[in-house]
Amino acid sequence: MCTYITGHLNTVFLVEHHKEILRYIYYHQNQDGGWGLHIEGHSTMFCTALNYICMRILGEGPDGGQDNACARARKWIHDHGSVTHIPSWSKTWLSILGVFEWSGSNPMPPEFWILPSFLPMHPAKMFCYSRMVYMPMSYLYGKRFVGPITPLILQLREELYAQPYDEINWKGVRHHCAKVDIYYPHPWIQDFLWDSLYVCTEPLLTRWPFNKLIRKRALEVTMEHVHYEDESSRYITIGYPNGDYFKKHLARIPDYLWVAEDGMKMQSFGSQQWDTGFAIQALLASNLTDEIAPTLARGHDFIKKSQVKDNPPGDFKSMYRHISKGSWTFSDQDHGWQVSDCTAEGLKCCLLLSMMPPEIVGEKMEPERLYDAVNVLISLQSKNGGLPAWEPAGEAEWLEMFNPTEFFADIVVEHEYVECTSSAIQALVLSKKLYLATGRKRLINLLPLLHCTLKMYKWQMVHGTGIGEFASHMVPGLLLEG
């Protein structure tokens, strides 16, 4: 959709790309004609509408596609209330595309970026991924940006709705969401907030003089954050369709794509560091060192090169970023975002490999870089002893009441995770044993808190509360208990 809106669809995606993307879409269409949030999920309006639009953008006709894919998808959409019942985030995307009206979306005012940062509603308090989504969305909402209205867009306006596009009561569909999409129902206080902003605030901020005094400034500040994230993540993020910023993004698109047996897929980012770390640990446990020395050496080299060498550029704290020097990301160094368990697993690999002859696994990592990794882990620890994934946790839990998405829960603020806590314990214990004589007292004070936190999580799981988030929480629990 983004490349279509910006006019770069056929530049980025060649004919063979089109075929492979369509093959993936056809392969995972459900029997009822829709698509789920994941390939085994039940059909949802969010995914069915976006897949339908994607098929049409890639050249399929209204009744085209393998096994009448488009017609079946459109029937599913109409049977479930039409696209007026698509979730909130999708309303934004469709408004940008031009097949939905901004007046049918709940407000996403960019003015939140110019509020004092100590306020609980400031984006600085958000979970990093929600903040990264809200950032460009709030800018585009503030500008009421709409892409070119092409003949295809006009056709989609006719195909996606059960009534004429011009007769839809857009104000009345703001809170509509198909039942099959609802995982987190909005509490009444959230709808009251959106209604208040919609009725009272937006009419003021979009008219003179407030559109010049307040909204203009809010948009400028928001774009400053966008450009900062562009540069610090090496353009794994948005920009103008013909500008240098955007062209740098286009160059990164192939990083997200790969072809599998079911067609072409796109990922949010790679998992190179994560996969390499666990693969190296598994190989070390095999006791086949002499037979796999080149593999270990190359893996060691990749892990060392993937460590983030510096903090985010400039005054990163004013951009609401945490320290990253010494960390590892989920993918590679370019990504730039520290992840606690990725850092812990990378540190473990380097420590384990440091105990082996350098002629087999290569030169060991410098101690100072190991200290940097430990520093990142300690900096992320919460008062309750646990570790979050990306940034320090601790913001007010009641902010989750204002989660605007209907299909995700617990995404407004950062939380601690048993998996991250477990990985950190293992890495810090190994660090203390092998290297870190300095800072020993700090580590000794830290570890009981971490262990107690893990025991607390396991106690909760035994009593019926599942804490793990990444489908691996039983394994770290067993490792620590052992």
Take residue 328 and report the two structure tokens written for it. Answer: 């590892």
List of residues 6+ apart from 373 with CB closer than 8 A: 307, 326, 327, 328, 343, 346, 347, 350, 427
Gap between the Cα atoms of 6 and 157, Å rounded: 19
DSSP summary character for residue 186: P
Same domain, 170 and 288: no
CATH code of the domain covering residue 254 = 1.50.10.20
Q: For the chain, what is the domain count?
A: 2
pLDDT of 244 strictly over 80: no
CA separation for the pair 246, 3 (Å, rounded): 11
Do 6 and 39 belong to one domain? yes
253 shares its domain with 342: no
Of the three residues 222, 238, 260, the one that is the final residue of a domain is 260
Indicate whether 240 pLDDT > 80: no
My answer on whether 351 and 420 are in the same domain is: yes
CB 55 within 8 A of CB 95: no
**82 and 153: one domain?**
yes
Both structure tokens of 75:
């029937």
> Which has more confidence, 425 or 251?
425
Q: What is the model's pLDDT at position 184?
A: 93
Task: Please check whether residues 230 and 354 belong to one and the same domain.
Answer: no
Does 266 map to a domain? Answer: no
Pick from 264-268, 413-417, 449-453: least confident = 449-453
Look up the domain containing 317 and give its range: 272-481
Same domain assignment for residues 213 and 359: no
pTM to 2 decimal places: 0.88
State the SS3 of 62-109. Answer: CCCCHHHHHHHHHHHHHHCCCHHHCCHHHHHHHHHHCCCCHHHCCCCC
User: Minimum mean pLDDT among 158-167, 176-185, 376-385, 455-464: which range?
Assistant: 455-464
Looking at the structure, tell me whether residues 213 and 309 fall in a common domain: no
Report if residue 100 sits inside a domain. yes
Name every residue whose Cβ is closer than 8 Å to that of residue 221 and which is 6 or more positions away in sequence.
Answer: 110, 113, 114
Q: In this structure, are 245 and 309 located in the same domain?
A: no
Cβ within 8 Å of residue 242, ≥6 positions away: none
Domain boundary among 235, 260, 285: 260
330 in the Ramachandran plot: left (φ > 0), alpha (ψ -120 to 50) or beta?
alpha
Q: Is 394 helix (H, G, I), strand (E, B) or coil?
A: coil
Q: Are residues 436 and 474 in the same domain?
A: yes
Q: Which long-range contacts (CB under 8 A, 24 or more apart) does 442-451 make?
A: 442/378, 443/374, 446/378, 446/381, 449/381, 449/385, 450/381, 450/385, 450/386, 450/387, 450/421, 450/424, 450/425, 451/425, 451/480
Please identify, among 260, 293, 310, the residue that sits at the C-terminal boundary of a domain.
260
Q: Is residue 323 part of a domain?
A: yes
State whether 254 and 281 are in the same domain. Answer: no
Token readout for 385 is 């002893």
pLDDT in tens, 141-169: 999 999 999 999 999 999 999 999 999 99
In a domain, 265, yes or no: no
pLDDT in tens, 72-110: 999 999 999 999 999 999 999 999 999 999 999 999 999
Per the rule left: phi > 0, alpha: psi between -120 and 50, beta: everything else, 165 is alpha
The reply to whether 322 and 413 lie within a common domain is yes
Q: Which residues are annotated as catalytic?
A: 341
List pLDDT tens digits, range 269-307: 788 999 999 999 999 999 898 899 999 999 999 999 999
In a domain, 267, yes or no: no
H-type alpha helices, 100-150:
128-143
